[in-house]
Amino acid sequence: MGNRVEPTACVILGRFQPVHRGHALLIEGANNWRLQNRPDLELRIAVGSVNKPQDLRNPWNYDERREMLRAALDEMGLISDIVPVPDIDDPPNWVKHAEAYHGGPGALVTTDQLTAKLYSDSGWEVALLEYHDRGDLVGWRVRETLRMMSTISDEDAIHEVLSKTMQKPVIDKMIQMDAVRRLAFMGEGGEPVG
């Protein structure tokens, strides 16, 4: 048996399109898990799909998502490395690919069973957390709500509608970056509702 390499970080992986309260719960849960189980590891957020073309499914680039994450982390009083990870659309080789960006092997905290299995099968320590309020706190639903708000200029109305699913500092950052309004000009269609 070979020498086991010590884990480098407690990793959270997501697309963060956009950063919503479900992500905040995951980040908070991952940090709590880390503090209880692996306080020797630093928290690291890996932002996936950084090489995908901009469209209604991927409207924000890596830099914008990193800024949203920083706003969310600041409100939670947490510090984390944030790193970009391009997709390769090859699940069997994903972990080896992603390790080049987020380091490894390490500990992964996720709510996704398929991701948990990929990392576990690759020798990572994995914590599978419960996904809270999957009905409202899912990326496509938050994006569609943002798209509906994209032609509204009243910032108070935007906050009122989005505050159920997004932290105020993240909404503020999106307004500051003009990241909500752009959805009005991104073409027809959207994601299937249901």
What pLDDT, in 10s, does the model give residues 106-116? 999 999 999 99
Structure tokens at 38: 């692996």
Predicted confidence at residue 128, as pLDDT, reads 96
Amino acid at 98: A
DSSP helix/strand/coil, 111: coil
Is the per-residue pLDDT at 84 higher than 80?
Answer: yes
DSSP letters of 135-174? TTS-HHHHHHHHHHHTT---HHHHHHHHTTTS-HHHHHHH
9-128, superfamily in CATH?
A: HUPs (3.40.50.620)
Predicted confidence at residue 59, as pLDDT, reads 95
Is the pTM here over 0.85, yes or no? yes
C-alpha–C-alpha distance, residues 9 and 123, integer Å: 14
Tens-place pLDDT, residues 98-142: 999 999 889 999 999 999 999 999 999 999 998 766 667 888 999
DSSP state of 177: T
Residue partners of 185: CB distance under 8 A and separation at least 6: none
Parts of the chain belonging to CATH 3.40.50.620: 9-128
What is the average pLDDT score of the chain? 91
Closest listed residue to residue 48, CA positions, set 65, 35, 31: 65
The Cα-based distances of 160 to 8, 76, 171 in angstroms read 40, 20, 10
Structure confidence at residue 3 as a pLDDT band (50, 70, 90)? very low
Structure confidence at residue 2 as a pLDDT band (50, 70, 90)? very low
Tens-place pLDDT, residues 19-36: 999 999 999 999 999 999
